[in-house]
Amino acid sequence: MLRDSELPSGAYVDGYNSSDQLSNNIARSLSLSLQIPIFNGYQARSNVQRSAIANQQASINLKDTENQLRQLVETAYNDAVASSKTYQSAIKQVNAREEAFRMSKQRFDNGAVNYVDYQTAENALFQAKSDLVRAKYDYIFKRKVLDFYQGKPIDY
């Protein structure tokens, strides 16, 4: 490792080259870090506030879900009551149409009513029986929906 020297030609040469510079360039540092958890950027306080808000939102969602369930059960109950009344009225309608058809048949047999009136009474009876079957199965379905909401087993 040559340090400042002079060549015979008279040129001045610096004997400290770049590789020597790199090997001697030792960096020394010292760092000190201190974290106080009380003052951690107020993260603890904001986390507590976020948790409180999340708790309130969960409470509101629970109440909303409970209200929706209550509305569904009330609607199912009202539907079951309405379908029961529809079924009862369909039974009464079938009884009335059977009596009307019986009387129409008697008149037709005696020649007091033409075939069109007889057929109209028979069609009305058939329609009433169809309505009765529809009302019956609607009532059964609505009852099964209520059983489902009450946690009862659904059987056929």
Domains of the chain, residue spans: 5-26+37-150
- 8-state DSSP, 135: H
Is the model's pLDDT at 1 over the cut of 60?
no
**H/E stretch holding 119:** helix 115-150
Euclidean distance between CA atoms 100 and 108, whole angstroms: 12
Euclidean distance between CA atoms 74 and 79, whole angstroms: 8
5-26+37-150 maps to which CATH number? 1.10.287
Q: What is the mean pLDDT of residues 41-58?
A: 88
For 123-154, how does the pLDDT look when each residue is reduced to its tens digit (9 = 90+)?
999 999 999 999 999 999 999 999 999 888 88
Per the model's pLDDT, the better-predicted residue between 35 and 117 turns out to be 117
Per the model's pLDDT, the better-predicted residue between 46 and 101 turns out to be 101
- Taking the whole predicted model, whether its pTM rises above 0.85 is answered as no
Is the model's pLDDT at 78 over the cut of 70?
yes
